[in-house]
Structure 1
């Protein structure tokens, strides 16, 4: 393990808290702290994405179940986040490892300048020898801009900092062909390459634990996001954080998802994973071939239908006629402006103030193909 990696570790509520009392499992947290510090001492850049704030807040306030009302849940998360960070700070300080707290919402990653600033902050902390601890900023996040679960957040952070590894720690040893608690004959899956992941069909539970928000489906989604960004991803049991070092040394523990060898540059990763699409553009077969196989920009005449109420320079999904996403991109025109353009009279574009008369709706530099093998 001589090569120095950038590593993101996500640990779930089911590992951090006891299911009945929601109290923190200090033995697991202490083992995690020691492992992450050891990785840092070996020269790796380490980020921890930690769940547990809502569960800990419920325990502190003696709330019997996670509230559904968003404002109450955010208030409880604020209480729990303070307690959680206090525990982390005490344990990391006891072994002389500095940490930092970073709270994010999608808003910080959607604006390009904020995205770059966030990445620069992580890099500065790495140079200082600090382990950043990340959580979603539940206190201020609005529903439309929430990550929704820390599995997705961890994949977004891993893409942001161009990580080499993403470890998703959960309450099972492997990804199984079905939920082993419900299907005793479920089979463990050790290795999944990028082609297998795209086709993978498992009976995955869509809900998490009583106090968590992510089930196995969110972990698979996170693995797909991360591997497409060139990040090797592992799902493994969070009861044994020390296994992270063994996995980096080559041992097969948990389910390993191989990274795509051809990953996008930083700007295209931002478009893919930082932005939240606000509309859809439907394309014909010829247009899809032009953008996916010939590397062309998307022109006004290529769009056969438009959905959503997006503004210029926002992200949209590019779909085939059946509605399947084939790419994402940043549009030069708003929905209102596109509606004004007559496909047979491109001279109308010159009357629009936004883009100086360009007939390009999405420039190729602002376009990311979502699927390599597209069904037309």
Structure 2
């Protein structure tokens, strides 16, 4: 049965840790594995890190750039070289590929999000393997994905994938970093991602000097993907052929089970595509109404507002302790909302001097945070 598979490989797997040069043997295995998946009838998307690492090696830099402008310049040098390597290897197997460079703003605007979806679907229909990376050369800091783990999860959600493979420098998730703690226990399956907190897992913030991710970003990516109904696997990047074994049922890596009732595409866009412009703090009654009864948010339930935003911007909905409980699209700008917070809906026209929406965030534009 044909499935849609998104594979993300990190810089730590693509490059040699001592020199930063490309690990060509690993890349060749990856290309062969992805081509096999295509031959089996699956749709495949590759999210590839490595442009900055390759650019550093090409320019003789000994450490990762620290400034945005330097990183963007180095990425511009590395991206072409990286794609040249991929194109040469995939071409030897007669597998067509396409380069897709995304910025967060491509997914923020609904029309561009839908257009990106259609482009991916057309490429996959043509039997092409899209190779995706963040457009580091143009992305501004406020609208960056931040790491390719997050990017891969959002792409997997966008293309409605069945599987997301996160290829990294360890073979699976452990209770602690196995490189430093000999007592670290392997974790084979995570049924519910919120159960990770009960396991007291220690996670690092950065895998290698050349990478931007770590296990924290992979777990965050798994949260996005599983919410979209996508089975997510963390497994070893140096052995990409293990993906074939996992798809055949072997217990390799760490698998995160998808939620049985995935949220729809529009709500996934609200939850993960949009960048929140502010926060609304809610009283206990509003939190209960949203969480347990699936109600819309009314002005009466809001106790405090943070940030400046316009009507139709995304906002975080938080309880009184500041814990995010949901995200949604707001019907009022921050100035008007400041005037009506805590008030009943029938008082809004009198306070504002004009008719307004009954709800601050309608339930159709509201997504619970997992």
Asked whether the 8 Å contact 1:311–1:335 carries over to 2, the reply is yes
How far does residue 200 in structure 1 lie from its aligned partner after superposition?
A: 4.6
Instruction: Deviation per CA, 1:153-207: give whole Å up to 9, x if none.
Output: 1111111111111000001111111011111111111111115246453111111
> In structure 2, do the counterparts of structure 1 residues 312 and 283 end up closer, same or farther at CA, with 3 Å as the change threshold?
same
What's the counterpart of residue 314 of structure 1?
Answer: 313
Instruction: Deviation per CA, 1:28-64: give whole Å up to 9, x if none.
Output: 1011001101111111110000001101000001111
Instruction: Deviation per CA, 1:234-269: give whole Å up to 9, x if none.
Output: 000011111111100100011111111111000001
1:147 corresponds, among 129, 145, 148, to 145
Matched, 1:165 2:167: no
What's the counterpart of residue 374 of structure 1?
Answer: none
Secondary structure of the 1:219 match is helix
TM-score, length-normalised on structure 2?
Answer: 0.96
What's the counterpart of residue 14 of structure 2?
Answer: 16
> Structure 2, unaligned stretches of length 5 or more?
none
> In structure 2, do the counterparts of structure 1 residues 309 and 235 end up closer, same or farther at CA, with 3 Å as the change threshold?
same
What's the counterpart of residue 32 of structure 2?
Answer: 34
What's the counterpart of residue 58 of structure 1?
Answer: 56
2:86 corresponds, among 77, 88, 91, to 88
> In structure 2, do the counterparts of structure 1 residues 53 and 277 end up closer, same or farther at CA, with 3 Å as the change threshold?
same
Cα distance in 2 for partners of 1:82, 1:183 equals 39
Cα distance in 2 for partners of 1:113, 1:197 equals 36
What's the counterpart of residue 350 of structure 2?
Answer: 348
How far does residue 16 in structure 1 lie from its aligned partner after superposition?
A: 0.5
Asked whether the 8 Å contact 1:197–1:224 carries over to 2, the reply is no
> Structure 1, unaligned stretches of length 5 or more?
372-376
Cα distance in 2 for partners of 1:9, 1:218 equals 15
Cα distance in 2 for partners of 1:200, 1:8 equals 27
Cα distance in 2 for partners of 1:120, 1:33 equals 25
What's the counterpart of residue 208 of structure 1?
Answer: 207
Cα distance in 1 for partners of 2:75, 2:90 equals 22
